[in-house]
A and B are shown apart, each in its own frame.
Chain A
Amino acid sequence: MKAAKFEYEQAQSLQQIQDAYGSDPSALRLMGGSQSLGPMLNLRLVRPGRVLDVSAVPELRQVTAIKGHVRIGAAVTHAQIEDGIYELLRGHMMQKVAGRIAYRGVRNRGTLGGSLAHADPAADWVLTCVALGARINVRGTQGSRTVPMSEFMLAAYTTVLEAGEFIESVDVPEVSGSARWGYYKFTRKVGEFADASCACYFDPATRTARVVIGAMEGAPRSLPELAVKVAAQGAAVLEGDTIEAALQPYLAQRDEAHQVLFRTVVERSLKQALGVKG
């Protein structure tokens, strides 16, 4: 299908985005690379009056170092992260994850901020950013605020962004020699949305441990108790039923196949971090 009519504008600066929101924030949709919004527009599931393309705004395309973190502009594309265009992200967990998002044709246009704002429960960035303890820098007509990723997504396709607010950048921890991480997802076909996924991140230098599962009904779920056990026990955690027990509250109501999928993605993601083969 073809999209319903909308007005289209390309923003050249942050100020222009804020000005565009000024008149009637509820009728305006921001567009990054249009890889999430495009299909919904074409299917007429979304019918905004005005679309503002922010993918060319220079301030949103920068990657800078900031006190132990890497600040990634919202309009940086998956392919740019995958290709290591920005030195600060080379060898980063983000680079590895980026290379497996959808397909190259999508990665060439899709943006980090766009994916997070779209908040698909099965999306890779939503899960990865929770595992990394990312901070989302939000700018709006009422000023700026920073939201931890663990609180950013509320439900399927629903975030804390208010009308008139947009994602300016995302802060993730800088590449750390001591950090270990894993990422594993099950997809029916390469590049499809995940049926079950798990990201984990451990860094003794900051005493950080996170295990997060995704592709559920809503926002990713963090398993803090399991994460601490993995940090303390290492590969021993894979024996016995520790993983099973940690997943129990989330999977009790699901069919068996789904339970197996989730158990497996958690195991495989942890094995990557633990350096265990298999």
Chain B
Amino acid sequence: MAEISIQVNGRQQKHEAEPRTHLGDFIREKSRLTGTNLSCEHGVCGACTVLVDGRPVRSCITFAGACDGHEVTTVEGYDDDPIMSRLRTAFSEKHALQCGFCTPGMLATSRDIVLRLPDADEARVRIELSGNICRCTGYQGITAAILSVLQALRDQPDAQVDALRAAVVQNVQQDWNQNGFTTFDAVQEDVQAPAPVAAAAPAASGRADKGKGQAIQGGFDARFPADQVWAFMKDLPKVAGCLPGAMIESQEGATVQGKIAIKFGPMSAAFKGNAALEEDNERRAAVLRGEGVDSLSQSRARGDVSFQVNPDGPERSRVEVELVYSLQGPLAQFSRSGLVQDFVRRMIAEFGKNVNLRLEKPLAEGEEPVVAEFNPVKMFFSILWDRFKGLFRRA
């Protein structure tokens, strides 16, 4: 606990607060000003927008400690504000609110638009409003309210508003000097491309699998005959033990209990749950169905890992792997645009490496596998090193 002192709506507020207290909670729970609404609490919806030193910020992802000694204005503090008095009237006239939940944040952002962008047209107003979500109005009323205030100020300037606007330093460049292009002889740069996907896993492709989640295909080569690899791959504890970061805690028949720890850049998660194996000996194929919960972030993951072992000559085989997964909860926020695909691809490569390793050096009875936390960075360097060595091999 530390003492944090913030001037809220002109009054000094001194309260003991934990370092993890964000500004929204400080305002609502310490200062008892409950007009500011909290909704998503991770900076997506804009409901909690307040002014810090006169500028709109999201109070849920701004920590109170960072505002120590600063000035905050909330929806309760606009009584004498010349822009806000116009907006209040306009919001009322244009039906810019229905349930009112987003309104405090909308007003803070609207005031900022009127202050900074005297000439904004409808398109610009909508762009500027895009960070505040409203689930009732469809934004028409809010946009109309802001436009009407802007128009009124153009028709009849207001000295008080002009004074506020003059205090905002802005040097917006209108002409971006983008006319005319003279061709020239450029020096081609030799760009050091980031490491591609590991050679052990061909480019995987992702597609949405209706109702089940995302699907990613990959695979790896095994340096052993197909039957031997298949025998290994249907041994549940063994195969689960090859998943990077996985730990088996108990087994009952075809089901194992355990956890899988992953590290993804700065994020880490440990999914605790169970997995079951369904085999098809005819095709040397199996599906490992697993689901788990990360207790730290309350993210839920479900995944079906299907694999099929195909002979590649008498001494080698190819294991085709497909993962269909779905993520729910906080971690899903970060699973966009191919990130997870890249991650899983690298995981499949690592899995393949482990399978080969275990086939070469089976664990002795009772020996525990060493669980390495799955770390893409370390892997990245190993991939880079492999490529580097490859250069000389080819030479």
Interfacial residues, chain A to chain B (CB-CB below 8 A): 1-8, 10, 29, 31, 34-35, 38-47, 51, 53, 55, 79, 82-85, 87, 90-91, 95-96, 99, 102-106, 108-109, 118-119, 121-122, 150-151, 153-158, 177-178, 180-182, 189-191, 193-195, 202, 204, 207-210, 215-219, 221-222, 224-225, 227-228, 231-235, 252-255, 272-275
Contact = CB atoms under 8 A, between A and B. Distances in A.
B339 A121 contact: yes
Across chains A and B, which 7 residue pairs bring their CB atoms closest together, nearest first? A157-B265, A103-B131, A84-B171, A38-B61, A8-B19, A217-B342, A43-B330
Interface in B139-193: 169-173, 175-193
Contact of B177 (A29, A87, A91): A91
Contacts of B283: none
A42 B61 contact: yes
Contacts of B339: 121, 156, 217
Which bracket fits the contact residues of B?
35 or more
Contacts of A95: 173
B175 to A, nearest CB: 8
Interface stretch (B38-46, B306-314, B319-327): B38-46
Contacts of B177: 91, 177, 180
Interface of B: 2, 18-20, 22, 25, 41-44, 46, 49, 52, 55-58, 60-63, 65-66, 68, 109, 112, 126-128, 130-132, 169-173, 175-195, 203-207, 264-269, 296-298, 330-331, 333-334, 336-339, 341-343, 376-377, 380
A155 B338 CA distance: 12
Contacts of B55: 79, 108
A252 B189 CA distance: 23
A217 B112 contact: no
Q: Which of B57, B192, B207 has the most CB of A within 10 A?
A: B57
Nearest to A55: B66
Contacts of B66: 10, 31, 34, 53, 55
B330 A106 contact: no
Contacts of A254: 205
A134 B178 CA distance: 21
Given A104-B131, A150-B192, A209 B186 contact: yes
A157 B186 contact: no
30 contacts: A1-B330, A8-B20, A10-B68, A31-B63, A38-B62, A39-B44, A44-B296, A45-B330, A79-B55, A85-B169, A90-B173, A91-B173, A103-B132, A105-B57, A105-B58, A109-B52, A154-B194, A154-B377, A155-B194, A191-B130, A193-B336, A207-B184, A209-B188, A215-B337, A216-B338, A217-B342, A224-B188, A224-B189, A234-B183, A275-B180
Nearest to B194: A219
B172 A273 contact: no
A85 B171 CA distance: 7
B139 to A, nearest CB: 12
A102 B296 CA distance: 27
A39 to B, nearest CB: 4
Nearest to A117: B266
A155 B346 CA distance: 11
Contacts of A208: 186-187
Contacts of B130: 103, 189-191
Contact of B19 (A6, A96, A99): A6
B67 to A, nearest CB: 10
Contacts of A5: 18-20
Given A106-B58, A234-B182, 17 more contacts: A4-B20, A5-B20, A44-B296, A45-B267, A47-B296, A90-B171, A91-B176, A99-B172, A103-B132, A119-B265, A154-B377, A180-B177, A189-B130, A191-B130, A191-B131, A217-B339, A225-B188
A150 B266 CA distance: 21
Contacts of A204: 182, 184, 186
